[in-house]
Amino acid sequence: MAKKSDDAQTDRHYGGRGDPVRSMALLWRDGTEPAKGRGPKPGLTVDRIVAAAIELADAEGLAALSMRRVAERLGVGTMSLYTYVPSKAELIDVMFDTTCGEVLEDKAAGDGGWRDRLAGIARANWDLYHRHPWLLQVMAMSRPPLGPNAIAGYDHDLRAVDGIGLTELEMDSVVSLVSVFVQGAARVAIEAASSAHDTGVTDAEWWETYGPLLEKVFDPEKYPVAARVGAVAGETYQSAYDPDHGFQFGLARLLDGIEALVESRRTSQP
């Protein structure tokens, strides 16, 4: 039996799954649109197609994205899209890079130090994932779409820690560490929001149902630390977990660790 692709099983997307030459041409296009064939001219452009695809993915998720659905959204025939975008694989690469350009506007370096700059980058990406949750299904850490906005974003993030005493490899590792943390925190937050939307039950309502049932079987003397800490956390969050608090707390501790690295480099210099 033929093995199903990862995309078919989990709807994940890996960069470079389409034609490399055509994908790079789309990512780095100079604004020149493909020559039109015979017949009516629908007024399509790559940018219009990408914008419609992003709107569709934002509204219904990456699983709903197809060339046919994008064409329907634009009011044209599906075959009309292939003059501009060869397949869904290349389309997703361009969608990803387009949203990277969007978040660059939120990544103003400001006048603060490296810690403030990294915090601003983290929050900008946190907001980006909440605007476009489907981005979390694009596996872009090891095989990123090599578009102009993605590379500009990488350069911007590196400049946040340039000149503070880290090696080039440490700079890359710090930027990657922050990126991976934000992805993980955003994934948990979006899944929590989705659970309330999908079930029609808020976390507070869920706990109101299960809390009394747990009290009947839970022995606080057997699990004293869990009983003490869980009571405080539950009262504070009104749920088992608060994604926003988790993001803010985790980001602060992550920056503390990076600061310790920076300080160690300073003290080790002659």
**pLDDT averaged per 10 residues, the chain (length 270):** 44 74 87 56 84 96 94 94 93 93 68 88 95 87 83 94 95 96 94 81 79 84 86 76 90 96 82
Write out the two tokens for 14.
């890996």
For residue 192, what is the domain's CATH number?
Answer: 1.10.357.10
44: left (phi over 0), alpha (psi -120 to 50) or beta: beta
* 23 and 61 fall within a common domain: yes
Q: Across-strand partners of 14? A: 139
The reply to whether 1 falls in a domain is: no
| Average pLDDT along the chain | 85
Q: What is the pTM of this model?
A: 0.84
* 90 and 115 fall within a common domain: no
Nearest Cα residue to 102 out of 147, 43, 68, 166 = 147
Condensed to tens digits (0 to 9), the pLDDT of residues 190-225 reads 988 888 777 888 877 877 887 788 888 888 888 888
The set of long-range contacts for 69-72, using a CB threshold of 8 Å and a minimum separation of 24, is none
53, 80, 95 - which closes a domain: 95
Which string of DSSP letters, residue by residue, matches 187-205? HHHHHHHHHHHHHS--HHH
Range of the domain at 22: 6-95
Radius of gyration of the chain (CA): 23
